[in-house]
Amino acid sequence: MLTLPINFRNFRLHGSGSQNPYDRLSPFVYGNAGDEIQYLALSELLQQERGQTLYCYNSFYPEICDLKGQVQPVDSSAITLVICGYTGLFDHMFLSVYVPNKAHVAPDHCIYLGVSISSSDERGGQDGMELALKLDLPHKLAPFGPIGCRDRATRDFLRAHGVDAYYSGCMTMGFAARTIDPKHPPQDTVILDLQPGFWPQLPPDLVQSAKRPTHCLLYRQEPESLRSRLEFFAQAKALLDYYREHAKLIITSRIHGTIPALALDIPVIFLSDCTDQRMDMLKYLIKQHRSSEQLNFEQLKRSATQHSYFAEVRAAVRENALDRLAGKDDRGSIRRLEQILEYDFLGQRTS
């Protein structure tokens, strides 16, 4: 059985007016490696636990290949589509991501792990939930349940409209913890895509010595070729391999810098002024510091190592993903996952 990710990134449009993603595209655009990192988490899980391969499906071209570029023949009866990640808000994109063509893929061959429908769009587009209702998305999604949702707002929205939905968190929570070679311990402090408001508080010696990778990676003109998608996966994997081998501390404003670090057991400091619903899955897992705070980096570095509880999260995410991919009807792993993700590991609840 082929297991395929639906991976359909938001378009970065150039010019004004039209929201048609085929209009006024630059030869190169920037993408967020976090999209690919989610599927790399699933790919590694399948390889580690099942010895199976995750294949890549291109929404524009009927090509299927593994993440290294080996093309596979298409047999729709042997395909399982895995859909996860944040929505695109263009009408046809929305349905391309979330509702596979039933003529080719049966509902029991579609697995939804960590999808998110925004209640507002900070990118200046439409409200995702309003658009979902306009497109009758809950009704179209209902046959594909249970739908794993990356945040509770998406879960509650879908449940309110009759969809079997649950809070699954993000697949990146399921990365296996790294193994450190004691002869070659990690040495690099990493500053990853830090928001501008935090830079004035960074100690000068930290700024001088830190490595500065980015998840804003360059890829080819949309609509994507298969080659550009594979290049993007390769760049995202190279980043993950670097973090595993070299990062002793990650300081970041990125969700998909923070969660993989927690799962990989890399000390991490999460600095972000974002307040949208994407923050929900981190709410009880790691302290989010804001630029308005007076930050003590020596204290933050000490607290960055205190995330041993994340082993429970990692195990629950992996168990649920494997159960859903195996087509199990037993909902025990769903209940356990939701219970763990709802637990306040930081002791922040006041009621």
Do 31 and 13 fall into the same domain? yes
Q: What is the DSSP letter of 211?
A: B
What integer pLDDT is reported at residue 220 of this predicted model? 52
Q: Which domain holds residue 75?
A: 2-173
Give the pLDDT confidence score for residue 59 in this predicted structure. 47
pLDDT band at 109 (very low <50, low <70, confident <90, very high): confident
Same-domain check for residues 19 and 56: yes
End-of-domain residue from the set 173, 204, 236: 173
Q: Name the residue with tokens 């792990």.
A: 113
pLDDT (tens digit per residue) in 53-90: 776 655 444 455 566 666 666 555 666 778 777 654 44
Q: How many domains does the chain have?
A: 2
Domain boundary among 158, 173, 188: 173
- 134 and 200 within one domain: no
Q: Which of 2-6, 42-46, 128-132, 278-282 has the lowest mean pLDDT?
A: 2-6
Q: Which two tokens stand for residue 92?
A: 């046809």
Give the separation between CA 62 and CA 215, rounded to whole angstroms: 27
Q: What is the pLDDT of residues 24-50, one digit of tens each?
A: 333 445 567 887 898 899 889 988 988
Binned at pLDDT 50, 70 and 90, residue 169 comes out as very high
| Interval 207-250: pLDDT, tens | 999 999 999 876 554 445 556 667 778 888 999 999 999 999 99
**Model pLDDT, residue 61:** 43
| Other CB atoms within 10 A of residue 5 CB | 26
> Does residue 105 sit within a domain?
yes
Q: Buried (b) or exposed (e) across 273-287, using 16+ Cβ within 10 A?
A: eeeebbebbbbbbbe
Residue 151, Cβ density class (10 Å: 0-12 exposed, 13-18 middle, ≥19 buried): buried
Residue 207: both structure tokens together = 């700024």
Is the residue at 340 inside a domain? no
Q: What is the pLDDT of residue 341?
A: 94
Shared domain check, 132 and 98:
yes
At 289 the pLDDT is 97
Same-domain pairing of 169 and 211: no
**CATH number of the domain enclosing 204:** 3.40.50
Q: Residue 311 falls within a domain, yes or no?
A: no
Q: Is residue 317 part of a domain?
A: no
Residues 111 and 202 placed together within one structural domain of the fold? no
Statement to judge: residues 121 and 187 lie in one domain: no
Distance CA 304, CA 321 (A): 27
Average pLDDT over residues 4-10: 40
Residue 220 host element (H or E): strand 216-220
- Worst-scoring range by mean pLDDT, 54-58, 164-168, 190-194, 328-332? 54-58
> Which DSSP symbol is given to 178?
P
Distance CA(31)–CA(50), nearest Å, equals 30
Residue labelled with tokens 């080719």: 104
Strands 55-57 and 216-220: unpaired
Q: Is residue 18 assigned to a domain?
A: yes
Do the domain assignments include residue 330? no
Do 197 and 104 belong to one domain?
A: no
Calculate mean pLDDT across residues 143-151: 91
Question: How confident is the model at residue 191, as a pLDDT?
Answer: 96
Check: CB of residue 302 under 8 Å from CB of residue 268: no
User: Is residue 320 included in any domain, yes or no?
Assistant: no
Q: Are residues 115 and 181 in the same domain?
A: no
Confidence class of residue 116 from pLDDT cuts 50, 70 and 90? confident
Residue 96: pLDDT over 70: no
The mean predicted confidence, pLDDT, of the chain is: 79
pTM, 2 dp: 0.85
Same domain, 158 and 128: yes
Task: Quote the pLDDT of residue 41.
Answer: 92
Inside any domain, residue 247: yes
> Both 72 and 153 in a single domain?
yes
- Pair 238, 218: CB distance under 8 Å: no
DSSP string spanning 294-343?
---HHHHHHHTT--TTHHHHHHHHHHHHHHHHTT----HHHHHHHHHHTS
Rank 139-153, 222-236, 252-266 by mean pLDDT and report only the highest. Answer: 252-266
In a 3-state reduction of DSSP, which class is residue 118?
Answer: coil
Does position 158 have pLDDT exceeding 80, yes or no?
A: yes
Tokens of 114: 């960590």
Residue with tokens 């969660």: 259
- How much is the pLDDT for 112? 87
Q: What is the pLDDT of residues 336-346, one digit of tens each?
A: 999 999 998 88
32: three-class secondary structure by DSSP: strand
Are residue 79 and residue 227 in the same domain, yes or no? no
For tokens 């929570």, name the residue: 173
Last residue of one domain, picked from the residues 151, 173, 195: 173
Q: Which two tokens stand for residue 99?
A: 């509702």
